[in-house]
Structure 1
Amino acid sequence: MDPRLIELLVCPLCKGPLKLERGEAHSELVCPADRLAFPVRDGIPVMLESEARALDEQEG
């Protein structure tokens, strides 16, 4: 993902900043305030609350 795009994107719920987390199999944009991780599929961020994964206590 283009770093300039990440700087422009905000959480759709709280409008806070997002952090890109890269794993071996997938990437996610994480909102630390809402403790949600939005998936990135084929380089495209899916910024839907219904698609977001809730972070557990050890994450974020």
Structure 2
Amino acid sequence: MSISKELLDILACPKCKGDIRLNASQDGLICDHCQLLYEIRDGIPIMLIEEAKPLEK
């Protein structure tokens, strides 16, 4: 289940307040600035810094 474009437009990275985008598999949100992945579980984005996963380089 993907999140709506309207929700994606208003969400921001909780760490840097920057833009986020859906990842390729649409099961997470990526902040390119912080290099973090916020998971989407049951259609709900988990926007907690302590639960974010660092992106692999």
TM score, norm. by length of structure 1 = 0.86
Percent identity at matched positions?
A: 38
Letter in 2 for 1:44: I
Give the structure 2 partner of residue 20 of structure 1: 22
What RMSD, in angstroms, separates the aligned Cα atoms of the two structures? 1.1
Moved over 6 A (4+): none
Give the structure 2 partner of residue 9 of structure 1: 11
Quick check: 1:35 aligned with 2:35?
A: yes
Runs of at least 5 residues in structure 2 that lack an aligned partner in the other structure: none
Runs of at least 5 residues in structure 1 that lack an aligned partner in the other structure: none
Q: Whole-Å Cα distance in 2 between the matches of residues 49 and 4 of structure 1?
A: 22
TM score, norm. by length of structure 2 = 0.90
Q: Whole-Å Cα distance in 1 between the matches of residues 6 and 46 of structure 2?
A: 17
